[in-house]
Amino acid sequence: MHPGCGGPGEFRAPGERRSGFDGPGEWRWLCLDHVREFNAGYDWFAGMSAEEIHAAQAPGAGWRTESPSFRATAGGSGMPRWADFDDPLEAIAARADGIRSRARREAELAAGGRFGREEAAALATLGLGSGIDRGELRRRYSELVRSLHPDRNGGDRRHEAELGRVVEAYQLLRKSSALG
């Protein structure tokens, strides 16, 4: 309630203590007139830079949070994360593609492939099959780096996470004894 107000407190407004490490914040209950007065003076963007305000107002701002199943440490190695995509439908499609390619890799391994599980995942990341040699590996790696690097895309950093996965896959495969 607002001091000196006899109106019913039907509308909730943040109190003095905000939510944080010590638990949930406090709420004040105000009448319609006083909650309107509070809202007129309340600035949600106080203390934010112009870039932070723009990011908070972006339509996909809520999609940039990471769910446990899309973390890099989640069960499916090399699977995409929500944060790697601006459009959630692209993330879902990439996840489905990853599941299909993992099934293909496992079938290849069952058929007597020469690569281990991690190496097969690295091959899938690079879009290669099990019948490659070191020359093919280097050519594919160069091709992917050229197409994904921000310097070659006018500074566009949308593919940076994928580029990181490509570099990691190449580093693993170039040391593989299976490539002879």
Domain ranges of the chain: 1-43, 61-179
Token representation of residue 156: 């566009």
Task: Tell me if 79 sits within 8 A of 68, measured CB to CB.
Answer: no
Task: Write the pLDDT tens digit of every residue in 102-126.
Answer: 777 665 654 456 777 788 788 888 8
What pTM value is reported for the model? Answer: 0.40
The string of pLDDT tens digits covering residues 143-169 is 888 888 877 777 777 888 888 899 999
Which helix (DSSP H) or strand (DSSP E) does residue 2 occupy? none
Write down the pLDDT at residue 91.
78
CA distances for 57 relative to 51, 54, 71, 89, angstroms: 10, 5, 25, 20
